[in-house]
Structure formats: C-alpha cells, structure tokens
C-alpha cells in the first residue's frame, strides 16, 4: 500500500517520532481477528473456571484454590495484556513512558505468579500421592490461601526489584517518540531465567517424576493385592493420578509456550520487548493462558458439567452451590 512519508510516522512534524508499524491490510485484519478471538476465549474460559470454583462448594478444595489463582492470572492476561498488544499492532504508543513501564511490570508480575502457582500445584499433587494419609492435615484450605497470597506478594516484590532501573528511568529503553520498549539486560535476564524458569521448572519436573515413580510402585503392588479395601484405595489413587497427569500436561504446555521468550538470554543477548510489535514469542507466552482452561475442559468432567450449569443459568437457583458435580467415588 502506498503511503506518503508523513503518514509513516507517529507524529509527522516531530523529528524524534517513530515510524508507525505497518502491515498489508488483509494481513492486519487477519491478525486482529485471530488475536481478538484468542483474547476473548482466554477471558471467557478462565472466567468460567473462576465462577465454577468460587460458586460450587464441592470444588472448594486446596487443589482447586490453586487452580483458581492460576485462572485469575490467566484471566488478567486476556483482559489486560492481550487487548493492549492488539490495539498497538498498527498504532503508536501515546500513553507515555510511565504507563509503558507499568504495563510491563504488571505483565511480569502475572507471569511470576503463574509460575509460582504451578510450583504450588505440583507440590500439592506430590503430597497427595506420595503422602496421602497426612495430606488432609498437611494441605488445608487455610494453608493454600496463605501460600497463594505469598506467591502474589513475592511476585510483586521480585519484579519491582528486578525492574528497578526501568521504573526509575521509564524512558531509558525508548529510542523515539511513540515507542513502548523495555530492554532487559543480560544480567537481569539471567536472573529472571534462573528464578522464573530454570529453578521452578526443575522443581516441578522432579516432583512429577517422583509422583510417577510412586504411582508405578503402587501399580505393581496392586497386582498382588485384590482385596475389597485395597480396591477402594486404588480408586482414590486413580483420581489423584488423573489430576497429576492433567496438571503435568499444563506444565509441558507452559514449557512449550515460554521457551522461545528466553532464547535471547540463552544466546547471551539482551531481551527487547516491544508492545507494538506483537512479537511471536510474547504472544506464544500469553497464549499459554488460553490453553490452560482448554486442557481443563478436556480432562476435568466437573469443569464441563459446571459450564453447562453456568450457561444454562442453573447457578441462579436456590441451593445451586450445593449441587454435586461428581461423586466421592469418582
């Protein structure tokens, strides 16, 4: 598409103005439709998870409280982060340097909280399967609430400290007017890589390996014990293993979505993030927030049933909070 020189800049009469991001009209429309659809699905599905776990008393468990916290972080991605990136696909940033920096701080806080929630979920599954007798006393609703709050508070402090220089000098990364860029130095990127990716993922993988080793050991012992009481125990273990397997898939998807973002740091380079570029690695990382509830929908029958009850407005009926979404022997 032909454009005049003036129209190529955010502010034509300003010498320090950035060039507008441009795409062919058809390509731009496809990008808008695709990303808007992803944003809508992310918000809708995570909102359904939040309503389900909050409304139905049967879902008020420590594990589901951790899933609720993860859904809140995913909802914020779809509600706050994705729309901003969609708006600035072909627009310049006119909200100022401070808002630009705060946008990225919020982005990183949500990401850190999501990772912390996944670690807590893995630890919950580890205790449930490897120490089932003491699980009810070790993991309670009250303790889960405390750990969820700590994960969010620590994420805020961690990100504020890591992005301290950017917060003190918000315009340091912008090379021209109309740009919203944050450059993470190699050192800060390495710290982020270690504490937000390598250590949490290592802990999660070790816990899940331990879970599956215990599960295999239990499976071998089951072959030699077929008493009625043992069969009852096996049913519980299958339920726990199904939950662990589902959450294991969530972790694998997380790895797939976030690995590309850390490639510059692994290559020894600074990480440059531009809100108006809709970079593939940024959208892939955010797309993880859309995939998590999709995984739940496929593997959690209670989620599918709760969706039907919510969409049919059955939750508005008196006593709906006490509806049974699954049997205790499930």
Report the percent of the chain where pLDDT is more than 90: 11
The DSSP secondary-structure symbol of 138 reads H
Say if CB 81 and CB 107 are below 8 A apart.
yes
What is the pTM assigned to this prediction?
A: 0.80
In this predicted structure, what is the pLDDT of residue 6?
Answer: 42
**Could you tell me which of 156, 178, 189, 22 has the C-alpha nearest to residue 94?**
178
Could you report the per-residue pLDDT of 59-106, keeping only the tens digit for each?
888 988 998 999 999 999 889 888 887 777 766 777 777 888 888 888
In this predicted structure, what is the pLDDT of residue 172?
Answer: 65
CA 313 to mean position of chain CA atoms: 28
Which residues make Cβ contacts (< 8 Å) with residue 204, sequence separation at least 6?
A: 118, 119, 122, 251
Could you report the per-residue pLDDT of 257-271, keeping only the tens digit for each?
777 777 666 655 555
Say if CB 176 and CB 93 are below 8 A apart.
no
Burial class of residue 204 in the structure, from the number of CB atoms within 10 Å of its CB (0-12 exposed, 13-18 middle, 19+ buried): buried
Which residues make Cβ contacts (< 8 Å) with residue 152, sequence separation at least 6?
A: 69, 109, 113, 116
In this predicted structure, what is the pLDDT of residue 177?
Answer: 72
> In b/e form, how buried is each residue of 182-192, taking b as 16+ CB within 10 angstroms?
bbbeeebbbbb
Could you report the per-residue pLDDT of 300-324, keeping only the tens digit for each?
788 888 888 888 888 888 888 888 8
Say if CB 52 and CB 310 are below 8 A apart.
yes
Could you report the per-residue pLDDT of 180-235, keeping only the tens digit for each?
777 777 787 788 888 888 888 888 888 877 877 776 676 666 555 544 444 444 44
Show the tokens assigned to 288.
């993880």
Helix (H, G, I), strand (E, B) or coil at 18: coil
Alpha helices in the chain (DSSP H): 25-55, 62-76, 82-87, 97-130, 135-138, 141-162, 164-168, 186-193, 199-222, 228-258, 263-266, 280-299, 301-311
For the chain, domains (ranges, CATH) are 23-322 (1.20.1070.10)
Helix (H, G, I), strand (E, B) or coil at 327: coil
């Amino acid at each position: 598409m032909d454009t005049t020189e003036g129209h190529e800049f955010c502010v034509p009469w300003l010498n320090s103005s950035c060039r507008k991001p441009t795409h062919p009209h058809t390509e731009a429309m496809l990008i808008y439709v695709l990303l808007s659809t992803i944003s809508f699905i992310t918000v809708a599905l995570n909102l359904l998870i939040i309503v389900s776990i909050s409304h139905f008393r049967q879902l008020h468990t420590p594990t589901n409280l951790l899933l609720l916290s993860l859904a809140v972080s995913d909802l914020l991605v779809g509600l706050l982060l994705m729309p901003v990136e969609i708006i600035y696909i072909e627009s310049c940033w006119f909200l100022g340097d401070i808002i630009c920096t705060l946008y990225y701080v919020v982005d990183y806080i949500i990401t850190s909280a999501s990772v912390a929630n996944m670690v807590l979920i893995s630890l919950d599954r580890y205790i449930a399967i490897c120490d089932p007798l003491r699980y009810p006393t070790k993991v309670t609703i009250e303790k889960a609430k405390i750990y969820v709050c700590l994960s969010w508070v620590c994420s805020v402090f961690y990100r504020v400290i890591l992005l301290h220089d950017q917060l003190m000098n918000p315009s340091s990364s912008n090379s021209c007017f109309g740009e919203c860029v944050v450059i993470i130095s190699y050192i800060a990127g390495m710290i982020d890589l270690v504490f937000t990716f390598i250590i949490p993922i290592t802990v999660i993988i070790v816990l899940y390996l331990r879970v599956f080793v215990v599960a295999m050991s239990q499976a071998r012992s089951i072959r030699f014990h077929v008493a009625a009481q043992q069969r009852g125990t096996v049913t519980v273990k299958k339920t726990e293993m199904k939950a662990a397997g589902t959450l294991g898939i969530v972790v694998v998807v997380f790895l797939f979505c976030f690995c590309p973002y850390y490639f510059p740091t692994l290559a020894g380079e600074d990480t440059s993030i531009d809100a108006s570029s809709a970079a593939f690695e940024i959208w892939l990382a955010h797309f993880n927030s859309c995939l998590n509830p999709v995984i739940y929908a496929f593997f959690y029958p209670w989620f599918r049933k709760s969706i039907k009850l919510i969409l049919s407005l059955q939750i508005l009926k008196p006593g709906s909070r006490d509806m049974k979404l699954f049997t205790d022997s499930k």
